[in-house]
Amino acid sequence: MARLLRLERRVTEASVFVACLLMGAAALAGLYQVIARFVLSQPASWSETLVRTLLIWMVYLALAGAVRVGALVSVDVLYRLARGRYRKAMNLLISASTLGLLGILFWFGGMMAYRVRFQNLAGLEVSISWAYAAVPVGCVIASLAVLAHYFDPSRQELASAV
């Protein structure tokens, strides 16, 4: 169990760090897009596609961080009312439901990435599969975080809730 928690911590920290870098890169590409379009009057054909792709990757990589602190599926009222074995049952139900949803997203995201492997992103001339690959990759990382949250809960959203 300790190994799973250590692995998850490293993977989640790296995932959130990369997501932050991608957010910065998306902001810079968006700034370039605005300057090129409205200041230079020569819009770039690749910047909007790049921003969209970076944001997709950012969201799916940061998903693990949200899941780890328990902020993804928020049932605060039920959690505050539940005690003892009801709380354990609710934690199991929430974790199983989240894993089920991530499994569905993984399956369909992977299938979509496979189906579009021969199509290119407009303006970037790279396979659309690179954009769709964010879904299964993010789901695998988030699944680790769900398991870690189940075995070592960290409910940071409750501390800040009013």
On the question of pLDDT at 69 being above 50, the answer is yes
Confidence of residue 74 (pLDDT cuts 50, 70, 90): low
Q: Band of the pLDDT at 127, cuts 50, 70, 90?
A: very high
Residue-wise pLDDT tens digits, 9-50: 999 999 999 999 999 999 999 999 999 999 998 988 898 999
Rounded Cα gap, residues 114 and 128, in angstroms: 10
Compute the distance between CA of residue 12 and CA of residue 4 in angstroms, rounded to an integer: 12
Phi, psi torsion values for 123, nearest 5 degrees: 90, -25
Contact between 38 and 50 under an 8 Å Cβ cutoff? The reply is: no
Count of beta carbons in the 10 Å neighbourhood of residue 17: 13
pLDDT of residue 73: 57
Is residue 78 predicted with pLDDT exceeding 80? no
pLDDT of residue 35: 94
pLDDT at 156: 58
Position 122 scores a pLDDT of 84
Q: What angle do CA 144, 64, 72 make, to 5 degrees?
A: 110
Furthest C-alpha separation in the chain: 64
pLDDT in tens, 130-156: 999 999 999 999 999 999 988 887 665
pLDDT for position 162: 40
Q: What pLDDT is stored for residue 157 in this prediction?
A: 55
* pLDDT value of position 83: 81
pLDDT digits (tens, 9 = 90+) for 107-119: 999 999 999 999 9
pLDDT average, residue stretch 62-90: 79
pTM of the model: 0.85
Which pLDDT does position 129 carry in this prediction?
94
